[in-house]
A and B are shown apart, each in its own frame.
Chain A
C-alpha cells in the first residue's frame, strides 16, 4: 500500500522521480543542518541564563508573585468558562440526533492537535529553566483550570451572563492588583507582547465593528466621521504612531496625565487596528445579501435587532480568516512597542542578550532570534488554528 502511494504521488514519471529525489535531497540537507544547529553547534546557554529576561523583561523579581497570582486566576476563570461551554455543547449534541457525541479518544486527539504548538513551547521553556518555580506554575495552571472545568460543568447554563460579568470585573481587579507592584513602564518580555496583543485585540474588535456599522449609517455625519477615522489611521505607519505616543503626547496633554508605556502602546494598537478591523467587517457586512435585512424588517424587527441577530453574525462569520489575520499581525506588531517606546519586549530583549558582557561578540544572534521567532510562531500558529476550528464550527449550516 505504501509503495503504491509512493508511486502514485512521488514517482509517477521520470520527471516526477527526479524532482522528488532533488527536492527530497535538499529538504533532507536543510533538515540535517537545522537539527545539527539545534542539538550540536547551537550554543543555548545564552537563552538558558536569560530566560527570565526573555519572558518577563525588566519586571522586578520580587513582584513576580503578582504575575503568578494573575495567571492562576485567569486559568481558573478560563477553566470555568470552558466547563460551562462543554456542558452546553454536550446538551446541544444530545438534543440533535444527527451529531454523534465525541468519544474521549477523539476529544484527546483534537486537544493534542490544537494545543501541540503552545504546549510544545511551554515544555521547551520548562526544560530550559533551572528552578522549580515555572514547573510549579504550570502544574498549578493545570490543576486550577481542571478544577474550574469541573466546577463549570456543574453550573447551570444560565450562569453564563453572571460568569462573563464576573470575569470582566475580576480582570479589572487583577490589572489593578498588578499596578500596585509594577509600574506600566517596567513590563517586558513575552508577557508584554502577549498582554499588549490580548488587550488590544479585545478592545479593537468591538470598536472596529462600531466603526464599520457607522460607515453604513444613514446619517451622513456619522458616516463621515467613521470614514475619516478609518482613512486617517490606515494612512499612517504604526511605528510613527507609537513614536508619537512616546515623545509627542506631552505636547497635547499635561505631563502628569501622560500614561505609562504599556497603556500608551495599548491605546495606539487599539486605535490603529480598529481601522483595519472596521474595513474587514465592512466587507463582511456587504457580503450579506439584502434579502436578509428585508426578511428581518418584514417581520417587524427593529434595525438594531436585525443588525445584531441577523446581519452581524453572518458578516463576522464570513470574515473570520481576515479578522484573525489582522489579529496575528497585531500580535507580531507588538514588537514595535519595544523599539518605539524603549521597552524590553521579547524581540528587543533578545537583542539585548547578545550585547551582554559574557556573550558579547560571540555571534549568538542566530540562537536568540530562532528562540524568539519560535515563540512568536507558536502564538500565531495557535491563533490561526483556532480560527479554522471556529470557522468550521460556525459553518455548520452552510452547504
Chain B
C-alpha cells in the first residue's frame, strides 16, 4: 500500500474506489459572462471513491461541484452521473439531483420547518414516500448523526454543528448515490468542526461516493482516495493525500499548501 499512497496520478481521469466510474467530467468549461471560471475540467470519480478538492478561494471548486447537480449550467463539455448524461431536459436534471446529495457551507436548512420536516420534505414530495415511512427513516438518520433528540426543534434553535449534521441527514434521506460537500465546516466554530467531520468519515467508511471541497487536510489524509488541487479554474495537480503532504510537484500547489498546513 505504501507505494500507492504517494502515487501521482497522471491526470484526474484515472479513478480510484471500486474501479467503475460514477461521475465523469469531460472537457467541462464554465463562463460567468466573460469570466472563464472553469477551463477544461477533466475529472472522473469512481464508485465508492472519496475525492477531496482543495485550492485557493475563487479557483472554481464550488463551481465544479455545482455543475455536477446543475446548480450551475456548464457551457461546454460533458457531465455524466452514474451513466446518465446531464442534458437540458428538466426531468433528466431532476433525476440526477435526486441521486446527488449536496451539503452547503451555510447549511441552507429550511428555517420554517422543524428538523424532522426538513429531513422528510424531499422524500415525501419528490419520492412520494408516505409520512410515517419518511419519518421513521428520518429518525434513523438523526440517530446516525447523533441528534435524535432535536427532531422537533427548528433549525434556528440548533448550534452550527448540529445544523450541519441535520443538513447531512436531510441529504441522505433521499438515499443518494453521490454526496457533494462544499466546504461543510468552513462556517463552523472550531469546536464544532470535528462532530461534522466524524459524520462524514462514517459515511466514507460506509462506502459512499463523495466529492468534498475542504481545507481540512487531516480529514483528507484519513479518508480521501485522491486529492485534487485547483487554481484559476484549472485542475493543477492530482494525487493521494500522502503525495500532497510529502511530494507536491507544482509550484502553485507548494505555495498553497505552505499557507494552509
Which residue numbers of A lie inside 8 Å of B, CB to CB?
95-96, 98, 289, 291-292, 294-302, 305, 309-310, 313-314, 317, 394, 396-399
Q: Are B104 and A399 in contact (CB under 8 A)?
A: no
Cα separation A397 to B158 with both chains bound (whole Å):
10
Q: Mark B93-113, 1 if CB is under 8 A from A, else 0.
A: 011011011101010111111
Cα separation A309 to B118 with both chains bound (whole Å):
11
8 pairs of residues in contact across A and B, judged by CB atoms under 8 Å: A291-B104, A291-B106, A298-B100, A300-B95, A300-B97, A301-B125, A398-B154, A399-B156
Cα separation A228 to B100 with both chains bound (whole Å):
40
- Extra A-B contacts (6), CB below 8 Å, given A296-B110, A300-B95: A294-B108, A295-B102, A297-B97, A299-B126, A299-B171, A314-B110
- Chain A residues with Cβ below 8 Å from B97 are 297-300
Cα separation A300 to B99 with both chains bound (whole Å):
8
Q: Are A397 and B157 in contact (CB under 8 A)?
A: yes
Q: Are B71 and A297 in contact (CB under 8 A)?
A: yes
- Chain B residues with Cβ below 8 Å from A301 are 122, 125-126
Query: Interface extent on B, as a size class?
Result: 20 to 34
CB nearest neighbor in B for A306: B125
8 Å CB contacts to A: which residues of B105-143?
A: 106, 108-114, 121-122, 125-126
Interface centre among A291, A292, A297, A298 (most CB of B within 10 A): A298
Q: Are A397 and B108 in contact (CB under 8 A)?
A: no
Q: Mark B67-111, 1 if CB is under 8 A from A, else 0.
A: 001010000000000000000000000110110111010101111
Cα separation A96 to B122 with both chains bound (whole Å):
23
- Chain A residues with Cβ below 8 Å from B100 are 298
CB nearest neighbor in A for B113: A397
B58–chain A nearest beta-carbon distance, Å: 19
- Chain A residues with Cβ below 8 Å from B14 are none
Q: Which of A292, A300, A314 contacts B94 (CB 8 A)?
A: A300
Cα separation A310 to B108 with both chains bound (whole Å):
11
- Chain B residues with Cβ below 8 Å from A95 are 152
- Chain A residues with Cβ below 8 Å from B110 are 292, 295-296, 310, 314
Q: Are B111 and A398 in contact (CB under 8 A)?
A: yes
Tell yes or no: B174 within 8 A of A by CB. Answer: yes
A172–chain B nearest beta-carbon distance, Å: 31
CB nearest neighbor in B for A92: B152
Cα separation A198 to B187 with both chains bound (whole Å):
47
- Chain B residues with Cβ below 8 Å from A295 are 102, 104, 108-110
- Chain A residues with Cβ below 8 Å from B174 are 299-300
Q: Are A397 and B154 in contact (CB under 8 A)?
A: yes
Cα separation A358 to B220 with both chains bound (whole Å):
93
Cα separation A313 to B122 with both chains bound (whole Å):
16
Q: Which of B69, B108, B125, B156 contacts A291 (CB 8 A)?
A: B108
Interface centre among B94, B110, B126 (most CB of A within 10 A): B110
CB nearest neighbor in B for A97: B152
Contact A397 B111, CB 8 Å, known A291-B104, A298-B102, A309-B121: yes
Q: Are B125 and A305 in contact (CB under 8 A)?
A: yes
CB nearest neighbor in A for B99: A300
Tell yes or no: B160 within 8 A of A by CB. Answer: no
- Chain A residues with Cβ below 8 Å from B125 are 301, 305, 309
Q: Are B71 and A294 in contact (CB under 8 A)?
A: yes
- Chain A residues with Cβ below 8 Å from B113 are 397
- Chain A residues with Cβ below 8 Å from B161 are none
Tell yes or no: B239 within 8 A of A by CB. Answer: no
Contact A397 B98, CB 8 Å, known A292-B110, A299-B171, A314-B112: no
Cα separation A211 to B94 with both chains bound (whole Å):
27
Cα separation A64 to B174 with both chains bound (whole Å):
59
Cα separation A291 to B69 with both chains bound (whole Å):
14
B211–chain A nearest beta-carbon distance, Å: 13
Closest 8 CB pairs of A and B: A397-B154, A300-B98, A295-B108, A299-B122, A291-B108, A300-B97, A298-B102, A399-B156
Interface centre among A313, A397, A399 (most CB of B within 10 A): A397
Contact A294 B104, CB 8 Å, known A299-B126, A300-B94, A314-B111: yes
CB nearest neighbor in A for B158: A399
- Chain B residues with Cβ below 8 Å from A98 are 152
B225–chain A nearest beta-carbon distance, Å: 24
- Chain B residues with Cβ below 8 Å from A297 are 71, 97
Q: Which of A96, A300, A317 contacts B126 (CB 8 A)?
A: A300
- Chain B residues with Cβ below 8 Å from A399 are 154, 156-157
Tell yes or no: B241 within 8 A of A by CB. Answer: no
- Chain A residues with Cβ below 8 Å from B95 are 300
Tell yes or no: B155 within 8 A of A by CB. Answer: yes
Interface centre among A289, A291, A300, A305 (most CB of B within 10 A): A300
Q: Are B154 and A396 in contact (CB under 8 A)?
A: yes
Q: Are A397 and B156 in contact (CB under 8 A)?
A: yes
CB nearest neighbor in A for B106: A291
Interface centre among B101, B104, B106, B122 (most CB of A within 10 A): B122
Q: Are B71 and A298 in contact (CB under 8 A)?
A: yes
Cα separation A310 to B117 with both chains bound (whole Å):
11
